[in-house]
A and B are shown apart, each in its own frame.
Chain A
Amino acid sequence: MARAAVSGGLKLRRTWRSAAVVERRPETPTACTLVLDVPEWPGHLAGQHVDVRLTAPDGYQAARSYSLAAPSDGLRIQITVQAVPDGEVSSYLVSDALPGDSVEVRGPVGGWFVWRSEHSGPVLLIAGGSGVVPLMAMIRTRAMRPEPDEGRASANSAHINSAPFRLIYSVRTPQDRIYYDELRRRAVEDGGLEVKFLYTRAAAADEPRPAGRISIDDLVSHGITAELQPTCYVCGPTGFVETVADLLIFLGHDPSRIRTERFGPSGP
């Protein structure tokens, strides 16, 4: 089950621990989800990341941060890694890591770009490319949030007291969509969740919107109006995040309710 809060203390969170790859799940031609078993994982908040460290036989080490893609399942965590050109850690994780392999992790890390399941206000999620990963953790965490009265069965809790969640997800082409089937299924099953895909280079066959970068019209049509004071989480490449954050401010959103996470061309 998801942990509502981070526990386990600072010392545990900053210690490098051995983790075993238990599953790999290709998401797109260049992105892969890895499920890791981490002894004593202290739990984490949706939106946090984890440092992953690889060690070569001669002792050379390389570490990078990756967003956690889902609430923890006991001691199991998930990361979704996009291979970046020349990325020495990402290309290993996407192309080479297999179940049974060992890496090291430490974390969780980051306390700002997080969504806490006790928050019931509306949430607008805007992702560019692999920026969807921490936002997916928020969507998955929301789906398993306990009812206010915690003793009751939680099987259908996703339909109770659900704050509106909207995801606008910009990708280059349909084959670049991460979590496509799951997002479609969740949007159908859960009336509180809406998902809109935008395509910048080649649109899906059933998509009337022509391919193009995210625009103010997209935010007006598929976002949440500033009057409802949603918390906005924007994650993607720097240029994308700059554009979207500026548009949100132009539409009247308070800058203090816009949380951003950016990665450059050589970022994690």
Chain B
Amino acid sequence: MGIFTRGFSGRRRESSRQLPPGQYLTDDFPVLSAGPTPRIPLDAWQFTVTTELGQTHQWSWPELMSLPAESITTDIHCVTRWSKLDTAWRGVSLDTLLAEVDTEAEYAMAHSYGGYTTNLPLEDLLDGKAWVAFEYDGDGLAAEHGGPARLLVPHLYFWKSAKWVRGIELMLQDSAGFWEQLGYHDYGDPWREQRYQGD
């Protein structure tokens, strides 16, 4: 390397804890989406898990609300380089939703209203690492932030936390989602700075 930028000293912000490499702190909650925000009425909302054999498990909104919910406080990291600390969510763990599902799959594709997709290893959705979140900061999740419900997988870059989630497709083999087809990383670990394919 050995390149310095003349006259640049930076405006480092004190952080109570270390951020992943290349990230900066924000107090706002920026929005990044590829298209218009879908508006999904709750009485039409459904969440579907589809196995590799085509078996489906479905939940309506009242059914989701009847499941045990958890409060989650976590840091989130966007690939566009902002990080936000101690965000507060409420949602149903994927462990709960997948408990009765019979599968040999190792990969999952999250599908959203509006057509967005993102792929993840199934194990990253299990063991208390992922939720279908429907509250942010004590309120119902706003549509622009993915409401009525979004996937929350905070240990990966935030594009993996699919907004407007409508289902999980379980897959024997990995397959690229929307941003992953456009050159973003298949896994997206912020601590290893896996922003783009090949990182």
Contacts and interface: CB of A to CB of B under 8 A. Distances in A.
Interface of A: 10-11, 13-14, 16, 18, 54-57, 60-65, 86, 88, 92, 96-98, 101-104, 109-113, 238, 242, 245-246, 248-249, 255-256, 258-260, 262-268
**Contact residue range for chain B?**
35 or more
A242 B163 CA distance: 15
A98 B26 CA distance: 28
A57 B7 CA distance: 9
A102 B29 contact: no
Given A56-B10, A245-B35, A268-B80, 5 more contacts: A10-B198, A88-B10, A102-B5, A246-B36, A267-B30
Is the contact region of chain B dominated by helix, strand, or loop, or is it mixed?
loop
A62 B10 contact: yes
Interface of B: 1, 3-12, 22, 24, 26-38, 80-82, 114-115, 144, 178-179, 182-183, 196-199
Given A109-B196, A267-B80, A256 B115 contact: yes
Contacts of B22: 61, 63
A60 B12 CA distance: 9
5 contacts: A97-B5, A112-B182, A113-B34, A260-B35, A262-B30
Question: 4 smallest A-B Cβ distances: which pairs?
Answer: A264-B30, A245-B36, A111-B182, A88-B11
A116 B74 CA distance: 40
A242 B38 CA distance: 10
Contacts of B37: 242, 245-246
Contacts of B7: 92, 96, 101
B33 A262 contact: yes
B141 to A, nearest CB: 15
A187 to B, nearest CB: 27
Given A96-B8, A102-B3, A256-B35, A263 B30 contact: yes
Contacts of A13: 196
Contacts of B27: 266
Nearest to B38: A255
A12 B7 CA distance: 28
Most buried by A among B8, B33, B179: B8
A251 B5 CA distance: 48
Given A56-B5, A102-B3, A245-B36, A64 B81 contact: yes
Contacts of B182: 110-112
A164 B19 CA distance: 46
Contacts of B115: 256
